[in-house]
Amino acid sequence: MWPFTRKPIVDAETAQWHVDNFAWLVATFGGNGTFADSVLVLPKPGLFPADGQEGHARALHILERVKHYCGMDDWPVELVADHNPAADRSTISVATPVHGKHALGTFSVAGNAVQISYVPALLARPERLIATNSSPI
């Protein structure tokens, strides 16, 4: 006899919210066929191999892999390195917000042109580059 009981991971209302969202996702984006052909992209070795690239070439390679996994191979986008000195810190982390006046990455649209910027220091930890949003550093 064990005195402890297992608790559900989430409450019933949250579980139903997840079920409803997955049902919408399947209904909106094509159901099981689409999901069967999809790759679950996780920040782990093998999904974003460097293939020997360094610097901006590595960032471009990572962007191309992300676009491929999203089914957006033909999506035109310009990737630009943001060499702002305020962003060149060796302790950059997307997990811990640091107050300042600079973002780790940006996304902008002007007409039909899409531009994504990134901080080159993130290339030392590609999973952080992939996960970067516009959080200020």
Q: Which helix (H) or strand (E) holds 124?
A: none
Q: Which helix (H) or strand (E) holds 80?
A: strand 78-81
The alpha carbon of 71 is separated from its chain's Cα centroid by a whole number of angstroms, namely: 14
For the stretch 110-130, pLDDT in tens is: 888 899 999 998 888 877 787
Closest by CA position to 120, among listed 96, 78, 95, 84? 84
The SS3 call for residue 127 is helix
Q: Where are the domains of the chain?
A: 10-39, 55-131
Per-residue pLDDT band at 41 (split at 50, 70, 90): confident
Taking residues 98-108, report their average pLDDT.
73
Taking residues 93-103, report their average pLDDT.
57
Per-residue pLDDT band at 88 (split at 50, 70, 90): low
* pTM for this prediction: 0.63
Taking residues 85-113, report their average pLDDT.
67
pLDDT at 23 over 90: no
